[in-house]
Amino acid sequence: MVKIATFAKPQNVVRYLWTQLINRKTKEMTQNFDRTDPNGADEYFLNCVRNGDLKNAMTCFDHEAVYIDKDGNAISGFANIEQVVANLCNMKPDINVYEHKNSPVGSDMM
């Protein structure tokens, strides 16, 4: 839905647009994610990437994590993973999850 507004002064246009931007960002930031659930953790990570939020995206990784890229390559080491995630965050791609696939790790693999 498009809102049409008329303004008597140009500074009111700027104030209106700024308010709309702040309201939209606040709505995006207040979205809740259940990070104890693998699907919620995925959604949180992708939300961070879409918003270019490297700091919070990296909270999704343990210091001993292994990141599997889209080509199936394993990337280990927190600093190496941070470089890959930084590139993603800089692009701010609009990534959506169509299907969650959870893979067992560690002792759960057997």
49-101 pLDDT, tens digit per residue, is: 999 999 999 999 988 888 888 888 899 999 999 999 999 999 999 887 766 66
CA-to-CA distance for 53 and 101, rounded, in angstroms? 24
Domain boundaries, the chain: 33-100
Half-sphere exposure of 23 (CA within 13 A, CB side): 6
For CA atoms 23, 25, 95, 102, the dihedral sign is negative
CA-to-CA distance for 43 and 99, rounded, in angstroms? 11
14-55 pLDDT, tens digit per residue, is: 555 555 555 554 445 557 888 888 888 888 999 999 999 999
